[in-house]
Amino acid sequence: MSNYSASGQQRLFVLGFVALMVWGVTTTYERYRGTELSRVPSTTRAERPTPAARVSYERRYETKANDGSVSTFDDDRPYSADPSVLIERPDDSILRPLTDGLEIYPSVQKGMRTPFDLWRYYGRGVSSFSSPVLPMRFDQWLSYHRKQKPALMRDVYAYMDSRYDFDRGAIPGAFMSGGKPIMAGPIARLKGVASFEALAKLSPEEIRERDLFPYKPLAHPIQSTAHMVFPDEWVVAHPEHERIDVDMDFPPEYLPEFPPPLFLTTHKELGDVSNGHEITLDNHYDMFDGLLTPEQMEGLKELLRPSPTTWFNHTDHRITEQPSKGVACMDCHVNGHTNGAFELGPDARPHMARLRVDTPTLRGNYNLMQLSSRRSIRSLDHFSEVEEYFDGDPGMMQAIGPRAVKREVSNRMADFNAIVDYPPAPKLDPLGRLIPEKSTEQELRGEALFKGKAMCSQCHHGAGFVDDQMYDLQVERFYVGRPEGPIKTFPLRGIKDSPPYLHDGRLPTLADTVEFFNLVLQLGLTEQEKDDLEAYLLCL
Amino acid sequence: MRGRNANGTDTATGHGASEPGEPEIKPVYGPPTMLRLSAGYVYFHFGILKLFPDLSPAELIAGEAITRVSFHMLDMSTALFILAWMEVLIGLCFLFDFQLHRVFYLFLFHQAGTFAPLVILPELAFKFAPFAPTMEGQYILKNVVSVAAGLTVLLPVVRARGKAKKLARQRRRDAGAPPTVTPEVAR
């Protein structure tokens, strides 16, 4: 053996072995990716069938001669009526994946930290179906998060601070419907460019190339579990919803007021029917008996009744220290509005591909023909039925405990949902136009911009300032990231009450929203015009 | 063809003296070939797997451990990239019997890292610590065999190298050679 060891033969043998291993692993990887076990989608397109293999188009034109013989066309006729003309195959680049510069989702288990820049990743999951089993014992789960949470939250706050300047203060004299000050903006931090005006002069390609875009998506701080993250103000009032793994990443000043006022289409004369209280299962009967129909009352009760969810429940598969009764619809949609809690949209798999979504308000839902971000749900009844908080996985519902809202009950929930009104907008006339006598010059200029140069009204029009369409803003033109696809237009009526904006809350203020659309739609608005537009949005 | 230079250094492996003036000290035993090759294979194969996303079964625990050790300054893909190349390098050195005295330190660093999840991620490594490991924990604990194998291969080479250096220093002192660090510099 020692002679052999000293010889060059061994080196040759080892060299061959190494080459074989490299070839073997590489080949195996190509065969493995795209299989049901792999998180890496195959990017190899199947070979297009050759014209000869396409068959039968020609065979329909079989002709039978007098002598009984059958002649068929046997050429590339589908591509050209004239066989002498060679038709170029169409460019199939639009069929190819848009994954350049993206990475495969990291391998994580439930509870593990995930990148804050999840938009840079893509891939498929091992399964569409989840499991109600933790990757460890529950006491280990608790100690795991006790260790992880402080470091995670330090990093979350540092990350948010790197993206936004949360010290800009409020807009003087601007308040939400219930009196909470509205924060000034834009607060997104710019890097590598002096101003938003300078940024807007650059092309999408240049912004992408120089990595200057300040409004990249926001990910859930811990996407491996994700689920609802409640604002600090809510958690103080409802400590049963304090999570062991993560807290809210936005300061309370940049979230909707708590509790928000509730306006009913059926009792406009009463103004805020909540009178400053949070409506709960305990107090709703006293507050609404004699004001609602029995059907609406039943619906309201159901909206207030907690139900076990994927992570708020009585089993070990939870992110609360103590077993939880669950979450009610109106724990996020407080008083028919929103408290700014966020979740993941249940509309996609793998779990890592789900987009962070802020809780939208229920106000004015009666005007919407399309609900739920990317799911395009077409009725309030259907919406009430599918918002089960099992993250789009009915199998989890089976394991954790049935919510199992029956159709007649979900219909009642929709009955109440359908009378939650927008907040008053005293400066708007019945057609949603500013009343000149009640408006400032700046607000009127903003309205003109809204309907003109800024092109807002192209999507935001009508009673709810919404068109019930889904649009793909193609924001990935401005950064290297996974395309988010079409998302429904959000109603702008009462918009001042529901920061932060866009589906994932990446736009903390109205001013950031204006800057975002100025960039994305390449509007070329001046600083004055942007201020005018913001002033107008505060009137809606 | 492998051979030895004027200093007695094995030109391929670096065994024995490699610095001018260092004597050749033969290892007390040559690295056991089968052990060296098998350890090299394991390092190389498991290392190269980590270069392909989603192919290595150790991706999760290794990536998570390194990101934690680095206080999340390294993301998981970077961590795995570094780890993969480290393992491939160690594996190739074992397989080709190349610079083993140098790879010894990388080997120690790597092996210390492989045991880190037992302390950093006990929730993933143990069903009940410390005697009931999970599959991942068992995978890590089995590394004691890798450590023993690696040391069996590496230690004689490293010790021979150490002795050669010591002997060279002794010879320089005996020959009255000037110290390598001057008093001025020392101050």
Question: What ipTM does this complex have?
Answer: 0.76
User: Cα(A206)–Cα(A201) distance, rounded to whole angstroms?
Assistant: 10
Across the interface, whether the CB atoms of B72 and A155 are under 8 A apart is answered yes
- The secondary structure of chain B, three-state, reads CCCECCCCCECCCCCCCCCCCCCCCCCCCCCCHHHHHHHHHHHHHHHHHCCCCCCCCCHHHHHHHHHHHCCCCCCHHHHHHHHHHHHHHHHHHHHCCCCHHHHHHHHHHHHHHHHHHHHHCHHHHEEECCCEECHHHHHHHCHHHHHHHHHHHHHHHHHHHHHHHHHHHHHHHHCCCCCCCCHHHHC
A144 part of contact set with chain B, CB < 8 Å: yes
**Using 50, 70 and 90 to split pLDDT, how confident is the model at A6?**
low
Separation between Cα atoms, residue A256 and residue B51, nearest integer Å: 46
Domain assignment present for residue B79? The answer is: yes
Helix axes A527-537, A510-520, angle to 10 degrees: 130
Interchain CB contact of A1 with B (< 8 Å) = yes
- The minimum CA-CA distance between A14 and chain B, rounded to whole Å, is 7
- Residue A1: what pLDDT? 42
Q: For A132-161, give the DSSP string.
A: S--SS-HHHHHHHHHHHHHHHHHHHHHHHH
pLDDT of res. A459? 95
Pick the residue from chain B with its C-alpha nearest to A120.
B77
For A320, residues 6+ apart whose C-beta sits below 8 A from its C-beta are: A240, A241, A242, A243, A244, A312
DSSP A420: B
- Give me the tens of pLDDT residue by residue for chain B, a chain 187 residues long: 444 444 444 554 555 545 666 777 788 888 899 999 999 999 999 999 999 988 998 888 899 889 888 888 888 889 999 999 999 999 999 999 999 999 999 999 999 999 999 998 899 899 998 999 999 899 999 999 999 999 999 999 999 888 888 888 888 888 876 655 544 444 3
Tell me the nearest-neighbour CA distance from A282 into chain B, angstroms.
Answer: 40
B128 forms bridges with which residues in the sheet? B132
Asked if A39 and A123 touch (Cβ cutoff 8 Å), the reply is yes
Dihedral through CA B63, CA B66, CA B70, CA B74, nearest 10?
-30
Q: Where are the domains of chain A?
A: 138-417, 436-537
DSSP 8-state secondary structure symbol assigned to residue A338: -
Are the Cβ atoms of A151 and B72 closer than 8 angstroms?
A: yes
* Averaged confidence pLDDT in chain A: 89
What is the pLDDT, as a whole number, of residue A75? 46
User: Would you tell me the crossing angle of helices A8-32 and B33-49 to the nearest 10 degrees?
Assistant: 30
Number of domains in chain B: 1
For A45-64, the pLDDT digits (tens) are 666 555 554 444 444 455 55
List chain A residues with CB under 8 Å of B45: 21, 25
Mapped onto helix, strand or coil, the DSSP state of residue A525 is coil
Which amino acid does the sequence have at A277? H
Burial class (CB in 10 A: 0-12, 13-18, 19+), A132: middle
The verdict on residue B182 lying in a domain is: no
Structure tokens of A79?
């591509």
C-beta contacts of A113-117 below 8 A and 24+ residues apart: A113/A148, A113/A152, A113/A222, A113/A224, A113/B67, A113/B72, A114/A219, A114/A220, A114/A222, A114/A223, A114/A224, A114/A352, A115/A219, A115/B75, A115/B76, A116/A155, A116/A156, A116/A159, A116/A219, A116/A221, A117/A216, A117/A219
CA angle centred on A495, ends A247 and A238, rounded to 5°:
30
User: Could you check whether the bond before residue B23 is cis, i.e. omega within 30 degrees of 0?
Assistant: no
- HSE value, Cβ hemisphere, 13 Å, CA-based, for A490: 20
Q: Is the Cβ of A21 closer than 8 Å to some Cβ of chain B?
A: yes
Write out the residue range of the structural domain in which residue B132 sits: 33-163
The verdict on a CB contact (< 8 Å) between A103 and B77 is yes
Judge whether residue A339 has pLDDT over 80: yes
Q: Residue B33: which of A5, A38, A144 has the nearest Cβ?
A: A5
> Is A477 strand, coil or helix?
helix
Task: Find residue A342's DSSP bridge partners.
Answer: A229, A358
- Summarize the confidence of residues A168-172 as an average pLDDT: 94
CB A39 within 8 A of CB B59: no
Asked if A447 and A433 count as a contact pair (C-beta separation under 8 A), the reply is yes
Report which of B100, B96, B102 is spatially closest to residue B2, judged by C-alpha positions.
B96
Per-residue confidence (pLDDT) for residue A253, from 0 to 100: 96
Other C-beta atoms within 10 Å of A57: how many? 11
Rounded to 5 degrees, what angle do the CA atoms A502, A507, A509 make? 115
Residue B173 lies in a domain: no
Q: Under DSSP, is residue A355 helix (H, G, I), strand (E, B) or coil?
A: coil
Nearest to B13 by CA among B67, B81, B92, B110: B92
In a domain? residue B74: yes
Residue A260: strand, helix, or coil = coil
What distance lies between CA A453 and its chain's CA centroid?
Answer: 28
**Alpha carbons A466 and B183: distance in angstroms, whole number:** 82
Q: Which of B78, B93, B110 is nearest to B157 (CA)?
A: B93
Residues of B with CB under 8 A from a CB of A: 1-2, 12, 30, 33-34, 37, 40-41, 44-45, 48-49, 52-55, 59-60, 63-64, 67, 71-72, 75-77, 92, 95-97, 122-124, 127
- Of the candidate CATH numbers 1.10.150.120, 3.30.750.24, 3.90.550.10, 1.10.760.10, the domain formed by A436-537 belongs to 1.10.760.10
| Residue in A39, A106, A140 closest to B123 by CB | A140
Angle among Cα B74, A220, A41 to the nearest 5 degrees reads: 70
The mean pLDDT value for A221-240 works out to 95
* pLDDT at residue A292 tops 50: yes
